[in-house]
């Protein structure tokens, strides 16, 4: 994969590496490849190789950093030799004249060394941060292409932790590791060479002890990697718990789940606590062991040096310089060993990132040359014998599904919960490709369209309203980036959203976010409709557009929805059959298959699955009848209902109003709240349970109630409803001006 950076640098990134990757067939998914618990263990070398391509374009700078490191180490070595000269010639002999020359050289070297070290370290930081940025963007970009089920299986907090702290761990492994290793290596070589140059026999004697450092590091590396992996997993789990708990704060508070949530956090925090204490203990044990080894080396040097001086084979200056070299030599040698541990620990982070990078997007852009882009399609959809099973699922979600939708038609897909309706929308938007069969737009298989183009042609209005953390304007404009303010406003007007938007504190520039309480569900849905209107795609997929809205809000979105659907091929997935009479065709889906198809009237007359669904929808209304308030329609200058009811007008049964059960009717609730309810109750007009009305039974002691004008819903759903209560107060509370709090 080629990635282009904002600075114009291009680099090649290989997403896969056969060394640690399993076979890449679909079965991987079924084996639970994506589950949180399973993170493949990989060697540091493989992890390093995996991320090395991302350093392309930075490697030249890395070389400069190394050159700076070499110069700084050389300067340091020279400074120590000058110190030895000063000791022997100026200090031991007490000669000031012998001081100036080595002292001025030392100063010059120190200044050059400081400048070079400054430049090298600054450059190293730049390279490092650039790498981290590149890696983070790369992983983020990859995650954004992953299929919906990936996000259902991974906890969000864990993903966040992978994108933040694990990314930094890779940096330790790839860039800092390299810079640190080079710096330590060069320093160690120079100091060791200088020590050998001064006294090779003494140096050889002390270097015999050097492998002890390596043995110590080796002893600790396995445990440090384990504990570091456990720490990273716990870190992800803590972020997940906090994120889930805050996202569910209403449930937590309403059901007083604080203790349960605290316990959940405590469990994860405890795992992190144990990992982090154990990690500190291991690191500390290693440090102290190394200290002891170092002391042994220093004592060996002093012992041998004292003996050499006593025999006259060595000067004090030489011994001091020698000790200084050893003093300078140990940190890089230790650093090299420590680096091994750091890189090993960082590999635990790399494993977690690689696990994500190995998950394939479920769909890909067509290979170059595939497909013919003939411009904006007319919007003919054909679903041809489609079969699909979710990765890891044990049964098929769709089986032999076939239907066509001509340009401009409205097709409703309905059916019981879990039937596969939303899966159809995922096929149409190409979140997944079918396992068998195909989906075509204007006769062209969806897979032949570039993904971005396809999603320009087919717009999804999903079940949950998606809101960006941005202004209202940006939220509408994301339907068509670069749209003019006038176009945005026109879309908002067509979606009946303009009026409430201008009443917001900053109008179109008011900030909203997904958790915002500023907008009601209905208002958010109208924003989404405005976004879809602006997008102006020839095909619309509406997934339960009225679900989650109360009856009033649902009615308010019907008109904008109709405007949105006009002239577009529309596939509406819904349980709400109120718009069914408008549909050109209704598909009833059950267990992934179409079990019935036809127009609303035909299907009702057939008395099959659709009519049962239709009846059950009405029954659901009846089941909750006792909780409902009496329904009525006040229109055409009819007298207020209270007055009509008080006058004892004859009761009209719900069944009669239903017109034989064929289609619903628009009823408006006269009472906006309990106050209204009590007002009517006090008037002796106890509300009649709907199922009784439906059955035609008059409630005992209740004055009969007249349904003055029954408006068939299919004809006038949301069109002629009153906007005020009988006493003149506004009916639509969500349209009230922004209270400013």
CA distance 642 to 726: 8
Shortest Å, Cβ 634 to ligand ATP:
35
By beta-carbon proximity to ligand ATP, the closer residue of 397 and 603 is 397
Q: What is the helix (H) or strand (E) element at residue 338, kind and residue range?
A: helix 316-357
338 binds ligand ATP (CB under 6 A): no
- Using CB under 6 A, pick the residue from 233, 354, 419, 428 that binds ligand ATP: 419
Residues 127-186 contacting ligand ATP, CB under 6 A: 149, 152
User: Degrees (nearest 5) of the Cα angle 154, 152, 381?
Assistant: 140
| Rounded Cα distance, 324 and 87, in Å | 12
The least CB distance from residue 586 to ligand ATP, in Å, is 15
Element housing 2 (H / E):
strand 2-4
CB of 422 to ligand ATP, least distance (A): 3
Q: Does 422 bind ligand ATP (CB under 6 A)?
A: yes
394 near ligand ATP, rule: CB under 6 A = no
CA dist., res. 634 & res. 668, Å (int): 8
> Whole-number minimum distance, CB 621 to ligand ATP, in Å?
18
423 binds ligand ATP (CB under 6 A): yes
Cβ proximity to ligand ATP: between 436 and 720 the closer is 436
Do the beta carbons of residue 258 and residue 245 sit within 8 Å?
Answer: no
* Helix, strand, coil % in the chain, rounded to nearest 5: 60, 10, 30
Q: Are 323 and 295 in contact (CB under 8 A)?
A: no
Nearer to ligand ATP, 420 or 663 (CB): 420
Judged by CB under 6 A, the stretch of 175-183, 389-397, 514-522, 717-725 that binds ligand ATP is: 389-397
Per CB under 6 A, the list member of 211, 222, 303, 418 interacting with ligand ATP is 418
Out of 390, 432, 654, 717, the residue judged to bind ligand ATP by CB under 6 A: 390
Bridge partners of 388, per DSSP, are: 398
CA distances 280 to 28, 224, 228, 338, 343, Å, are 37, 9, 10, 14, 16
Q: Give 418 or 659: the residue with its C-beta nearer to ligand ATP.
A: 418
Pairing of strands 410-414, 569-573: parallel
Shortest Å distance, C-beta 31 to ligand ATP = 15
Beta carbon nearer to ligand ATP, 32 or 43: 32
Question: Which window, 193-201, 226-234, 281-289, 418-426, contacts ligand ATP (CB under 6 A)?
Answer: 418-426
Query: Can residue 421 be called a binding residue for ligand ATP (CB under 6 A)?
Result: yes
Burial class (CB in 10 A: 0-12, 13-18, 19+), 372: exposed
- Looking at the chain, how many residues does it have? 741
CB of 3 to ligand ATP, least distance (A): 29
Q: Decide if residue 107 touches ligand ATP (CB under 6 A).
A: no
Pick the closer one to ligand ATP by CB: 397 or 553: 397
Q: Tell me, letter by letter, the H, E, C secondary structure of 488-523.
A: HHHHHHHCCCHHHHHCCCCHHHCEECCCCCCCCHHH
Stretch that binds ligand ATP, among 92-100, 411-419, 648-656, 687-695 (CB under 6 A): 411-419
Interface with ligand ATP, residue 397, by CB under 6 A = yes
| Residue ranges in 495-633 assigned as alpha helix (H) | 498-502, 521-535, 551-565, 600-606, 609-623
How far apart are CB 409 and ligand ATP at their closest, in Å?
Answer: 21
**Distance between CA 674 and CA 689 in Å, rounded?**
16
Q: Which residues bind ligand ATP (CB under 6 A)?
A: 149, 152, 390, 393, 397, 415, 417-423
């Amino acid at each position: 994969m080629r990635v282009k950076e904002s600075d114009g640098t291009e680099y090649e990134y290989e997403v896969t590496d056969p060394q640690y990757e399993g076979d890449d067939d679909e079965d991987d998914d079924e084996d639970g490849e994506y589950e949180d618990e399973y993170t493949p263990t990989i060697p540091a070398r493989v992890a390093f190789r995996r991320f090395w391509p991302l350093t392309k374009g930075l490697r030249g700078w890395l070389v400069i950093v190394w050159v700076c490191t070499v110069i700084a180490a050389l300067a340091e070595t020279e400074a120590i030799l000058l110190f030895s000269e000063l000791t022997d010639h100026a200090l031991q002999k007490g000669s000031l004249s012998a001081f100036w020359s080595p002292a001025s050289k030392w100063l010059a070297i120190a200044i050059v060394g400081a400048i070079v070290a400054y430049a090298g370290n600054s450059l190293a930081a730049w390279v490092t941060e650039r790498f981290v940025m590149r890696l983070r963007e790369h992983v983020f970009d990859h995650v954004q292409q992953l299929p919906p089920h990936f996000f259902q299986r991974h906890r969000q907090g864990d993903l966040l932790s992978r994108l933040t702290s694990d990314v930094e761990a890779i940096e330790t492994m790839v860039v800092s590791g390299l810079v640190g290793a080079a710096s330590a290596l060069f320093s160690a070589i120079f100091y060791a060479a200088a020590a050998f140059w001064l006294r090779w026999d003494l140096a050889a004697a002390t270097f015999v002890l050097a492998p002890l450092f390596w043995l110590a590091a080796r002893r600790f590396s396995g445990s440090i990697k384990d504990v570091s992996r456990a720490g990273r997993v716990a870190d992800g789990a803590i972020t997940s718990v906090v994120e889930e708990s805050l996202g569910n704060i209403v449930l937590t508070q309403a059901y007083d789940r604080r203790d349960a949530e605290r316990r959940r956090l405590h469990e994860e925090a405890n795992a992190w606590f144990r990992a982090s204490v154990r990690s500190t203990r291991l690191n500390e044990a290693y440090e102290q062991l190394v200290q002891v080894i170092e002391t042994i080396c220093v004592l060996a040097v002093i012992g041998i040096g004292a003996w050499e001086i006593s025999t006259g084979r060595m000067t004090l200056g030489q011994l001091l310089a020698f000790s200084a070299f050893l003093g300078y030599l140990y940190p890089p040698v230790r650093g090299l060993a420590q680096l091994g541990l750091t890189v090993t620990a960082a590999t635990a982070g790399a494993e977690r990132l690689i696990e994500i990078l190995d998950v394939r997007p479920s769909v890909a852009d067509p290979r170059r040359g595939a497909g013919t882009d003939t411009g904006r399609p007319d919007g003919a959809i054909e679903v041809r014998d489609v079969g699909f099973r979710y990765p890891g699922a044990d049964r098929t979600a769709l089986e032999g599904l076939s239907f066509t939708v001509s340009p401009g038609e409205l097709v409703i897909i309905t059916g019981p919960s879990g039937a596969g309706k939303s899966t159809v929308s995922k096929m149409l938007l190409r979140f997944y490709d079918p396992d068998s069969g195909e989906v075509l737009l204007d006769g062209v298989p969806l897979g032949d369209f570039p993904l971005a183009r396809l999603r320009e042609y087919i717009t999804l209005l999903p079940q949950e309203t998606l809101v960006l953390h941005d202004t209202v304007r940006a939220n509408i404009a994301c339907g068509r980036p670069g749209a003019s303010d006038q176009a945005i406003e026109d879309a908002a007007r067509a979606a009946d959203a303009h009026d409430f938007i201008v009443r917001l504190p900053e109008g179109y520039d008011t900030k909203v976010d997904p958790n915002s309480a500023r907008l009601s569900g209905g208002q958010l849905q109208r924003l989404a409709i405005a976004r879809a209107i602006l997008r102006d795609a020839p095909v619309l997929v509406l997934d339960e557009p009225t679900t989650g809205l109360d009856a009033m809000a649902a009615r308010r979105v019907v008109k904008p929805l109709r405007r949105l659907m006009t002239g577009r091929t529309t596939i509406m997935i819904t349980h709400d059959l109120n718009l069914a009479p408008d549909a050109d065709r209704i598909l009833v889906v059950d267990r992934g298959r179409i079990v019935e198809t036809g127009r609303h009237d035909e299907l009702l007359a057939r008395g099959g699955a659709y009519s049962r669904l239709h009846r059950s929808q009405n029954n659901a209304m009846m089941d909750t009848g006792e909780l409902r308030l009496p329904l009525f329609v006040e229109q055409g200058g009819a007298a207020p209902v209270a007055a009509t009811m008080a006058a004892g007008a004859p009761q009209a049964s719900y069944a009669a109003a239903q017109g034989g059960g064929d289609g619903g009717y628009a009823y408006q609730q006269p009472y906006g709240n309990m106050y209204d309810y009590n007002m009517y109750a006090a008037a002796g007009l106890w509300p009649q349970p709907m199922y009784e009305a439906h059955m035609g039974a008059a409630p005992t002691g209740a004055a009969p109630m007249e349904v003055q004008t029954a408006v068939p819903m299919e004809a006038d759903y949301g069109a002629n409803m009153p906007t005020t209560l009988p006493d003149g107060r506004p009916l639509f509370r969500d349209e009230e001006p922004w209270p400013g709090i």
